[in-house]
């Protein structure tokens, strides 16, 4: 039987930097979608996706220093 967790005031983090990594993942998906649809050139996709992966990795490394949650 699964337990239901109720969100209390202390259970959620209000820091904006926790939303950066999901935003990078969304941009990653949009980049490939726009490349598939022909909106952006293949060169932009080939340059853009490694940059987004690097940014995501850097943000994940910086997230380890978070003391708010």
Show the beta-strand stretches assigned E in the chain. none
CB 2 within 8 Å of CB 48: no
Instruction: Note the pLDDT of residue 4.
Output: 43
Instruction: Note the pLDDT of residue 56.
Output: 83
Of the candidates 69, 67, 68, 56, the one whose C-alpha atom is nearest the C-alpha of residue 23 is 56
Full-model pTM:
0.65
Tell me the pLDDT of the chain (69 aa) as tens digits.
444 444 455 566 667 777 777 888 899 899 999 999 999 999 999 999 999 889 888 877 776 666 666
Any idea where the domains of the chain sit in the sequence? 19-62
Structure tokens at 67: 């003391």
Give the count of beta carbons closer than 10 Å to the beta carbon of residue 66. Answer: 11
DSSP string of 23-39, one letter each residue: HHHHHHHHHHHHHHHTS
């Amino acid at each position: 039987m699964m337990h239901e967790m109720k969100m209390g005031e202390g259970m959620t983090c209000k820091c904006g930097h926790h939303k950066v990594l999901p935003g990078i993942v969304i941009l990653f998906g949009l980049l490939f979608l726009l490349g598939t649809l022909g909106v952006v050139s293949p060169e932009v996709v080939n340059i853009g996706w490694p940059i987004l992966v690097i940014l995501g990795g850097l943000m994940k490394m910086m997230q380890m220093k978070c003391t708010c949650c």
